[in-house]
């Protein structure tokens, strides 16, 4: 299991969002994180050495397939990608949704599922006037992350719909769309009875 810190996550997230590539100067924002430009340049070089970033013709950094797989592996269920995120840093459900590019209801449902399994702990965090739910990974979640294996490969084309069944029998209906960054669109959550109809 790769060992990332919050700066690595932020760089990979920004590179994944960017259409043309990024540079250390582009993401050096004091309100996001505080490392100096030289430390950021070292981080970029390190991620490039690990084949998580590559340089394009303009000299900007783009995310590689390996970089995308670090947190956004298409074969990984949402709950597993959430554990990968929370292994880096405790985050709110809103931040998890932002980083993974998933709808907040789907993220909240997956977080609640792994909380009930004892993989994460939830605590309340007051930020200005808002009360946020902050999630932190527990040793059981780390163990689950280490034991995780990629699921079987699914080949789908744009317009295909499929259901991800959760451990409690409920499910989420997704549609494949023409978007390289977020190829899945959540349509609706399904009850146990609705999931059984599709079996």
Dump the DSSP string for 56-96.
-TTS-EEE-HHHHHHHH-TTS-HHHHHHHHHHH--EEHHHH
pLDDT, one tens digit per residue, over 109-167 is 999 999 999 999 999 878 777 888 899 999 999 998 888 755 544 566 788 887 887 77
Please tell me the predicted confidence (pLDDT) of residue 156.
66
pLDDT > 70: percent of the chain: 90
Residue with tokens 């792994």: 114
Q: What is the CATH number of domain 75-150?
A: 1.10.10.10
Q: Is a pLDDT exceeding 50 seen at residue 28?
A: yes
Give 189's pLDDT tier (boundaries 50, 70, 90).
confident
Please tell me the predicted confidence (pLDDT) of residue 152.
47
Please tell me the predicted confidence (pLDDT) of residue 46.
92
Please tell me the predicted confidence (pLDDT) of residue 35.
64
Instruction: Give the C-alpha separation, 56 to 47, whole Å.
Output: 15
Instruction: Give the C-alpha separation, 31 to 98, whole Å.
Output: 16
CATH 1.10.10.10, the chain: domain bounds: 6-69, 75-150
Mean pLDDT of 177-197: 82
Domain covering 6-69 assigned CATH 1.10.10.10 in the classification: yes
């Amino acid at each position: 299991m790769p060992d990332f810190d919050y700066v690595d996550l932020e760089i990979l997230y920004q590179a994944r969002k960017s259409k043309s590539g990024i540079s250390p100067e582009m993401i050096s924002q004091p309100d996001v994180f505080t490392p100096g430009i030289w430390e950021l340049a070292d981080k970029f070089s390190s991620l490039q050495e690990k084949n998580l970033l590559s340089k394009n013709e303009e000299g900007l950094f783009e995310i590689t397939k390996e970089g995308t797989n670090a947190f956004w592996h298409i074969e990984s269920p949402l709950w597993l990608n959430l554990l990968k995120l929370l292994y880096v840093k405790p985050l709110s459900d809103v931040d998890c949704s932002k980083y993974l590019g998933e709808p907040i209801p789907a993220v909240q449902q997956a977080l609640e599922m792994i909380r009930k399994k004892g993989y994460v702990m939830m605590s309340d965090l007051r930020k200005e006037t808002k009360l946020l739910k902050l999630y932190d990974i527990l040793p059981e979640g780390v163990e689950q992350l280490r034991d995780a294996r990629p699921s079987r490969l699914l080949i789908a084309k744009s317009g295909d719909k499929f259901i991800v069944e959760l451990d409690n029998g409920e499910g989420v209906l997704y549609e494949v769309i023409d978007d390289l960054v977020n190829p899945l669109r959540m349509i609706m959550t399904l009850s146990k009875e609705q999931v059984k109809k599709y079996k």
